[in-house]
Amino acid sequence: MVSVTKVAVIGLGTMGAGIVEVFAKGEFAVYAVDGTTELAERGRGFVTKSLDRAVSKGKLTEADRHATLDRITFTAELTDLVDADLVIEAVPERMEIKHSIFTALDDIVRPDAILASNTSSLSLTEIAAGTRHPERVVGMHFFNPAPVLKLVEVIRTVLVDESVADTVRELALQLGKKPVVVGDRAGFVANALLIPYLSRAIALYETGKVSRVDLDNAGRVGIGLPMGPLTLCDLVGLDVVHEVCKVMYDATKRPSDASPSLLRQLVLAGRLGRKTGQGFYDYSADAGVDED
Ligand code: 3HC
C-alpha cells in the first residue's frame, strides 16, 4: 500500500481549488495544476480567497494561512508530478480530456502512484480502462463546497486493486471526511439521490405554477435541506447537473430522468449558475436582491 504524502490536483476550478485547500489544510504537500500559468494563478486566487475568508472569520490564524499556502506548488507543468503519490483529476467532464490527462500521467508518475478522478458523472471504468494500470485508478468524489462538506465517495471499478480503494478511504478519514464506498454506476450514490430531486424541482418551476423563491423555500424550510433546489443547482453548476441527468437517463431511459428542457436551454445560453454570474438567480454585482 503506497504511503501518501504528496498529492496533486489537476484542474483548479471550484472543485479542484477546494480539494487543494482540503489537502493543504490536512498538512499534505500539494501540487496544484492547471493547463496554463494564468489558470494556475487563477487557482491560487481561489484558494487564497477562501483562506482569507477563514482568517477574517477567526477560523484560521494568519500563521496557518501562510503555512497552508506554503504547502502548495501551483504549476502548469504535468511533468512536475514525478514524485506524486496520489493524483486527483478535477478537469471538465469530457471523456476525451480525462483520457488525455490519464494517458500523460501514465508516462510521468511512478507505477505505484494512485490516480483518482473527481468525476461526478463519467464512467470510472471507462477512464480506468484507457490507462496502462487500471488497477490503480479510483474515484474520489468530493462535494461542493469541498472544504465544508464531509462526504467523499470512493468509487471502485471492477478493475481496481482493493488496497488502492482502501488507501483512498483511509485518506478521506484522515482529512476529517466521511467516506462512502460505491461501485461504478450512474450517479454513484449521492447524485443518484440528489439529481432526480433537482431535476424535478426545475421541471416544477418550468410549469410556471411556483416562483423560484417559493420553490426554494419549500425545499429549504419544508424539507429541511440547507439550500433550496434552484439555489443548489446554481452552486453546483447547471452544466454539471445537466451532465449527470444525461448519464442517469442513458442508464435508465426513464423519461423522468431526462434533463428538463429549461435546464438544457440555460446551459445552451451559458447561464451556468454562480460561476458565470447567472443561473436561476442573478449573482452579478449590480443585480440587487433577486426576489422572485
Ligand atoms: N469554501 C469554504 N468554506 C465555505 C464555502 C466555500 N466555498 N462556502 C461556505 N463556507 C463555509 C462558511 O465560511 C461558513 O463557515 P462557518 O459556519 O464556520 O463560519 C459555513 O461554510 C457556512 O457558510 P455560510 O454561513 O456562508 O452559509 P450557509 O450556512 O448557507 O452554508 C453551505 C453554505 C455550506 C454551502 C450550505 O448552504 C450547504 O451545505 N449547502 C448545500 C450544499 C450541497 O448540498 N452540496 C452538494 C452538492 S452535490 C455535489 O457537489 C456533487 C456534484 O457531483 C454534483
Q: Given this model, what pLDDT does residue 289 score? A: 55
Could you please state the CATH topology (level 3) that the domain comprising 190-276 is classified under.
Answer: N-(1-d-carboxylethyl)-l-norvaline Dehydrogenase; domain 2 (1.10.1040)
CATH no. for 6-183: 3.40.50.720
Does any ligand 1 atom lie closer than 6 A to the CB of residue 236? Answer: yes
At how many degrees (to 10) do helices 229-236 and 238-252 cross?
100
From atom 33 of ligand 1, which residue's Cα is the shortest distance away?
A: 226
Q: Given this model, what pLDDT does residue 2 score? A: 76
Q: Given this model, what pLDDT does residue 290 score? A: 60
Mutation test of ligand 1: which of 20, 60, 148 has the most ligand atoms closer than 8 Å to its C-beta?
148
Determine how β-strand 137-142 pairs with β-strand 151-156.
Answer: antiparallel
Q: Given this model, what pLDDT does residue 130 score? A: 95
Q: Given this model, what pLDDT does residue 51 score? A: 97
Q: Given this model, what pLDDT does residue 288 score? A: 63
Helices (H), 152-237: 162-174, 190-206, 212-217, 229-236
Q: Given this model, what pLDDT does residue 284 score? A: 86
66 in catalytic set: no
pLDDT in tens, the chain (292 residues): 678 999 999 999 999 999 999 999 999 999 999 999 999 999 999 999 999 999 999 999 999 999 999 999 999 999 999 999 999 999 998 999 999 999 999 999 999 999 999 999 899 999 999 999 999 999 999 999 999 999 999 999 999 999 999 999 999 999 999 999 999 999 999 999 999 999 999 999 999 999 999 999 999 999 999 999 999 999 999 999 999 999 999 999 999 899 999 999 999 999 999 999 999 999 987 766 566 6
Q: How far is the centre of ligand 1, averaged over its atoms, from the C-alpha of 15 (Å)?
A: 12
What are the residue ranges spanned by the domains of the chain?
6-183, 190-276
